[in-house]
Amino acid sequence: MTQQASENKATLGPVGWLFLVLGGLAMLAPFYAMFVFSTHERSDIFRVPPPLWFGEHFLDNIAILMDRIPFWINLGWSLYVGIISTALTLLFCSMAGFAFAAYEFRLKKPLFGLVMATMLIPSFLGMIPSFMIMDLLAWIDQPRALYLPAAAPAMGIFLMRQYIESAIPRELLEAARMDGCSELGIYGRIVVPLLGPAFGTLGLITFIASWNNFIGPLIVMRSVEMYTFPLALRSVQSPVDTQWGALMAGSVVAVLPLLVIFIFSSRRLIAGLTAGAVKS
């Protein structure tokens, strides 16, 4: 395996490295442009050629953004929804994954197949039914309409089931039962402490998805004060008077926390995704 990896690495010559570097630069170029434009006025952004280095108007653009939208309120709603959504997803997906991995019960395989089949349904097909249900429950313009319906995604249940099957031996659970531990105690005292990598991976994916969610708030939120940050940024755009510098500054505020989280947790994310890939 090591020799084959070394041979594959050796075949990546200067041309291959050149393509990798160019591809990396192409992916980073939009982020660089966003950071640069966030520090310039709108007139500077549309100048030919456009600015390629940072300016001095970032705080001015943030001030413009704060005049257009309730900046801190929208940012707070995004943070609140992201944290609650992540916590509920970790709880429900770990419990469901534990049930599918550790128990044998009637219709187990059909039920798990039904859960996985929901991943095949395009998300846009659920927009109208979701709105009708939220309206029936009187949850329109309420943050609970964003985190409760998505509290147990099929991907999270699948990830937890695979990880528990591969990382937690059945003998450990049986030993706990023989010692008189309840099923809830087994889950809380034995399973949960061993789910660190899976929790980190699913939590990171869930928080990023919730933070970037645009369609969900667009469907159920009505007042600007209840907008999450991505939807609030969209409301700044206008056909005649879009402050692009302010919009880019808001995009930097929205993207920067995710970049920091991903940079410091990318190894844990990859480790968690691959931990349950192969069963011993």
For the record, the structure tokens of 70 come out as: 């309730």
Per-residue pLDDT of the chain (280 residues; tens, 9 = 90+): 445 544 444 566 788 888 888 888 898 888 888 899 889 888 888 888 888 888 888 898 899 889 888 999 999 999 999 999 999 999 999 999 999 988 888 888 999 999 999 888 888 888 888 899 999 999 999 999 999 988 889 999 999 999 998 888 888 888 888 888 888 888 988 898 888 888 988 998 899 999 999 998 999 998 999 999 999 998 888 777 778 888 899 989 988 888 888 777 766 666 655 554 444 4
pLDDT given at position 49: 85
Is residue 84 a part of any domain in this protein?
yes
Helices within the chain (DSSP H only) = 2-10, 14-37, 42-45, 58-68, 71-102, 108-117, 127-136, 144-147, 154-167, 170-178, 183-186, 196-212, 215-220, 229-236, 244-275
Mean pLDDT of the chain: 85
Is residue 198 a part of any domain in this protein?
yes
Residue 5 CA, distance from chain mean position: 32
Is residue 1 a part of any domain in this protein?
no
Sign of the CA dihedral with 93 first, then 98, 100, and 106 last: negative
pLDDT given at position 278: 47
Q: Residue 121's domain is classified under what CATH number?
A: 1.10.3720.10
Check residue 191 and report its DSSP letter: I
Domains held by the chain: number: 1
Domain holding 200, by residue range, is 69-240+247-275
- Which of 208, 199, 184, 194 lies closest to 83 in space, CA to CA? 208
